[in-house]
A = this chain, B = another copy of it.
């Protein structure tokens, strides 16, 4: 039953609260990457890669939310509350049976999660990042992967930010760190 995947496609935070038009913390560029991520998922599965969805999910009272986001829980219904529509992965990118799901509460998908346990468990060596958004969860996770000696690539057609300027500035920094940034077609 044990599976081995040296290559892993990570799909990060592609949830209604970040992607949908009425998302509580909408990232302007995210929706336009859904088609590219969908194609990347199909290709990754065809190549026999592992697929890991990283999703943000908070307890309803927001006790586990960042301090700067707590007001979204006290003044309203919160963001990415576990089990809510806002926390659901967007239509078009739904996980398949063999995919893994990792839940996080911060930017870095390695922080306070079992992502590294899982990746070591399946023998992962190379990570390809898709999702949103560049300055926060994508960059933090890319750096977290770098720190743990994974080979990491950021898929530029599958990642997004609030504006193109923000995306470009972060890509420049990541390339300078030694993180490959390229469209999926160039992998």
A residues with a Cβ closer than 8 A to B are: 1-3, 59-65, 70, 73-74, 100, 104-106, 112-114, 116-118, 121-122
Contacts and interface: CB of A to CB of B under 8 A. Distances in A.
A127 to B, nearest CB: 15
Given A64-B121, A106-B117, A117-B112, A100 B59 contact: yes
Contacts of A114: 64, 104-105, 112-113
Contacts of A65: 121
B117 A73 contact: no
A118 B64 CA distance: 5
A61 B2 contact: yes
A85 to B, nearest CB: 19
Residue from A64, A74, A122 with most neighbouring chain B CB atoms (10 Å) = A64
16 contacts: A1-B60, A1-B73, A1-B74, A2-B61, A2-B63, A2-B73, A2-B74, A3-B63, A59-B100, A63-B121, A64-B114, A64-B118, A64-B121, A105-B117, A112-B113, A113-B114
Copies in the complex: 2
A102 B84 CA distance: 18
A113 to B, nearest CB: 7
A104 B63 CA distance: 18
Contacts of A62: 1-2, 121
Contacts of A70: 2
Contact of A61 (B1, B106, B113): B1
Contacts of A116: 112
Contacts of A117: 64, 105-106, 112
Contacts of A121: 62-65
Nearest to A114: B112
Given A59-B118, A63-B121, 16 more contacts: A1-B60, A1-B73, A1-B74, A2-B63, A2-B73, A2-B74, A59-B100, A62-B121, A63-B100, A64-B118, A64-B121, A65-B121, A105-B114, A106-B117, A112-B113, A112-B116
